[in-house]
Amino acid sequence: MKLDDYKARYQNLQHSLQAGFLNSTIAVEGFVLARANGVDELLKDIWQGFDMPAQISLVAVGGYGRSELHLYSDIDLLILIPNDSHQIHQEKISQFLTFLWDVGLEVGHATRDIKDCVRVIDDLSIVTNLLEARLIVGLERTFEQMKRVIKTSDWSSQSFFIEKQKEQRARHANFSNTAYNLEPNIKESPGGLRDIQTVAWVAKWYFSVNTLFELVETKYLSNDEYELLKTSQLFLWRVRFALHIIAKRREDRLAFQYQKQVADMLGYTDGDSMAVECFMKDYYQTVTKVARLNDILLQLLEDKVINTQYLNSQFRISYGYIHANHDQVFSQNPAAFIEVFLLIAKHNYIRGISAGTLRQMQDDLDLIDQNYYKKRNNNRLFIELLQQNQGVNKALKLMNRYGVLEHYIPAFGKIIGLMQYDLFHAFTVDQHTLFVIRNLRRFFISEFSHEFSLCSEISSHIKKPELLMLAGLFHDIAKGRGGDHAQLGMQDARIFCKSHQLNTADTNLVVSLVEKHLLMSVVAQKQDIDDPVVIKSFCDAVGSLEFLEYLYLLTVADIRATKDDLWNDWKDALLRKLFRHAKQYLDSDTEILLSDSQRIEKSKQVLIEACIAQGFDMERVQQTLECLPKDYYLRYELDDMLWHLSLQLNSDPSSTIISSKISESNVVDIFVLCDDFKGLFFNLVSVLERAGLDIVDAKILTTKDDRAYNTLSILQDKSLEGLDLSQVISQALSDPKAKVTKLQSHYSHRYFDNKTHISLSEDKKWQLTKLEINTLDKIGVLSNIAYVLYEMNISLINARVSTMGERVEDVFFISDANHGPLNKLQQSSLKMALEERL
């Protein structure tokens, strides 16, 4: 059949429906059904005419799925295809849909495979559409598989009801929560068709019925209520059908311009009152009755769905709280101690545990004895709890609050209320641990993906998140016992994993994460992560890309759970960089490492090529590069080297250059190039500290012509607003007699270990001395360290500054006046001077 034939057939259907309605508006239900049936037949014939593949199914959804089509209502279609076959069927489906539009059918459509349905099922409008899906043509098996997606989704009767209730409230608010608008929307206004559909949707979901009439059999609707809903719906259908005829398009707003015509079409005549007034009075009375009945029915359903819901033979939910069904629940079945929290995780609308149930739980708590965690059913429930897509953090917090967690994992009981006297953690060990779990869970929740994009990306392909949760639970469990808490904790983790019958690979993963949970943080903040040797050593300890991903997530979650102000963009950037370098190394097919000379040569070549590409004066470039020490190419990225060169090429060769920019690490890099002099670093540090700025990194080197390259990285801060960095640094350089900042405490109370720990060791690779200082974070710490180095004529080559809670852990690479490592006497003198000053 040709296009014109289908057009004529569709137009004949429309004309016959319109004529029939005008002849008998009271028979509107038949015409609404007749249009759905007519469209069904039309679509089937067109589908067959296109010779669509047998494995594709055509499904009616929404109002069309209910077989309710008004004269110009959209025809909502779902085209179901086999998994991963979009490309194969795209052209054929596109041609089919284009043909439908050419026929004159106003089609709303989606093409999905079963995987797509699973992916979008969290969308309320989509799940509602699929709830009313009806197969037109295609495979019954595929259609039933799609319907099962709803049943196996996270949507429960409760969550569906709550969201539909929210949706209705928002919709009513758009109409000022009144049905008495002068130009009402017969579909969306309070008391309109959507209110009837909402009652039907939530009731169908809860009672698993297909029609409103079946709700009478469930005793949810009385006969009178059913008749009222049915009569009201038919009245509103008559109004809507008439509106479509008058507007000659889909129209739901009963505007002034249509009201009189609708009244005439529906048979109202002038009498004591005008016909339009009688009609509108009937309309308002109808929607008032619908709104009233909507309130009653939804409240009744709320009581059934929300206020009292039997979860199983042991527990029920009443008014948001979970209740034990009898007073022997825990004593008769001790597994209920874990099951109750699993149910809380599964049903995110549960507010908590009822007082009576809590009392039972506390009375029977001793039933969780030393053999409790060894029983298979208890193990299974606890692991299932950790596997939930939601509610894990909430459930574990409640387990901790009510004493179940410390009974289930005795080692956890030892860290409850344990304060860490290290000025690094702001919370007790148990609370810190639960915050780590919270942070880990957020990585797996799409609505928080904007917070840590890399963590969210990694978590999307973590196969077993529960292993990560276990590592988080055990990572600090041995704190306060003395000894290495990571080593002790891994032993606890291994016992736990074995008793819970985790396989060897999963057990080893959890145990290794606990053992090495500090590794990534230490390497990122205290070592040169641009050095391939450092990366190789780190990767040797990590072992695999899978472990690296788990470790990265645990590290970020751990640092962020210590103290609110401990995490910053610098730490974020260091960890990201270490992860990126390690991933690149682990992904590589070869373990060949470039020597330093090879790295220098490669870096220099890339720089020269970039300079040529950017049109730099190559003669000036070569003159500049000849004066640079070789390690310059190892300590700076290409972007930084180009930045330095562009500044120098636009300045006099002997002038002082001061510039700053936001780095890729989201900190402010301050670059100072000037003639070298004793105390230069001290002067720079002093002026920045006086300005209230936090220095996190420093690179210092001297060229062959005694010019000093200084790059100091500082955290972005409000102190920078209105501050002319160039001016204050220039002034400090012109008057190099900086005063030593008097150390001032950030904090008024000190009840913790405030000793300064200083260690010195030789870095044989660079022929330098490595100085590590761990001390209280005070105003002026860095400038005082710099002053001691200045006084003792010790050169600073590199610095990494880390604030860990209320302590700073700084690492410096230094040399003596002859550019070599410090001897034993020099080391002893330096340590004594630093201890005296700090």
Q: For residue 638, is pLDDT > 60?
A: yes
Predicted pLDDT of residue 530: 86
Predicted pLDDT of residue 799: 77
pTM of the model: 0.64
Predicted pLDDT of residue 542: 95
- Grade residue 643 by pLDDT with cuts at 50, 70 and 90: very high
> 49: helix, coil or strand?
helix
Predicted pLDDT of residue 738: 59
Per-residue pLDDT of 715-726, as tens digits, reads 888 778 778 888
Please provide the average confidence, as pLDDT, over all residues in the chain: 88
Question: Could you tell me which of 523, 522, 540 has the C-alpha nearest to residue 531?
Answer: 523
CA distances for 716 relative to 459, 644, 667, 685, 732, angstroms: 29, 21, 6, 16, 21
Q: For residue 749, is pLDDT > 50?
A: no
- Grade residue 576 by pLDDT with cuts at 50, 70 and 90: very high
> Tokens 């299974």 sit at which residue?
380
**Residue 129: partners with Cβ closer than 8 Å, 6 or more residues away:** 61, 62, 65, 76, 78
Q: For residue 679, is pLDDT > 90?
A: no
Beta strands at 315-318 and 308-310: parallel, antiparallel or unpaired: antiparallel
Mean pLDDT of the region 767-772 = 90
Per-residue pLDDT of 267-302, as tens digits, reads 999 887 789 999 999 999 999 899 989 888 888 887
Q: What are 77's two structure tokens?
A: 């279609």
Q: For residue 665, is pLDDT > 60?
A: yes
Cβ distance 432 to 562 under 8 Å?
Answer: yes
Q: For residue 223, is pLDDT > 80?
A: yes
Mean pLDDT of the region 413-428 = 70
Per-residue pLDDT of 435-444, as tens digits, reads 999 999 999 9
How many Cβ atoms from other residues are within 10 Å of residue 559's Cβ? 23
Per-residue pLDDT of 463-508, as tens digits, reads 899 999 999 999 999 988 888 999 999 999 999 999 999 999 999 9
Predicted pLDDT of residue 562: 83
Cβ distance 619 to 683 under 8 Å?
Answer: no
How many Cβ atoms from other residues are within 10 Å of residue 630's Cβ? 13
Predicted pLDDT of residue 804: 56
Predicted pLDDT of residue 424: 54
Predicted pLDDT of residue 455: 94
Predicted pLDDT of residue 682: 87
Mean pLDDT of the region 676-689 = 86
Element (H, E) at 50: none
Predicted pLDDT of residue 748: 41
Predicted pLDDT of residue 737: 65
Predicted pLDDT of residue 747: 46
Predicted pLDDT of residue 594: 79
- Grade residue 590 by pLDDT with cuts at 50, 70 and 90: low
Per-residue pLDDT of 141-180, as tens digits, reads 999 989 888 877 878 777 888 889 899 999 998 888 887 7
DSSP secondary structure string, 278-344? HHHHHHHHHHHHHHHHHHHHHHHHHIIIIIEEE-SSSEEEETTEEEESSTTHHHH-TTHHHHHHHHH
Predicted pLDDT of residue 745: 56
Predicted pLDDT of residue 703: 87
Q: For residue 752, is pLDDT > 50?
A: no
Per-residue pLDDT of 520-567, as tens digits, reads 999 998 888 888 889 999 999 999 999 999 999 999 999 998 876 678
Cβ distance 386 to 344 under 8 Å?
Answer: no
Mean pLDDT of the region 371-378 = 88
Rounded to whole angstroms, the Cα distance separating 545 from 581 reads 11
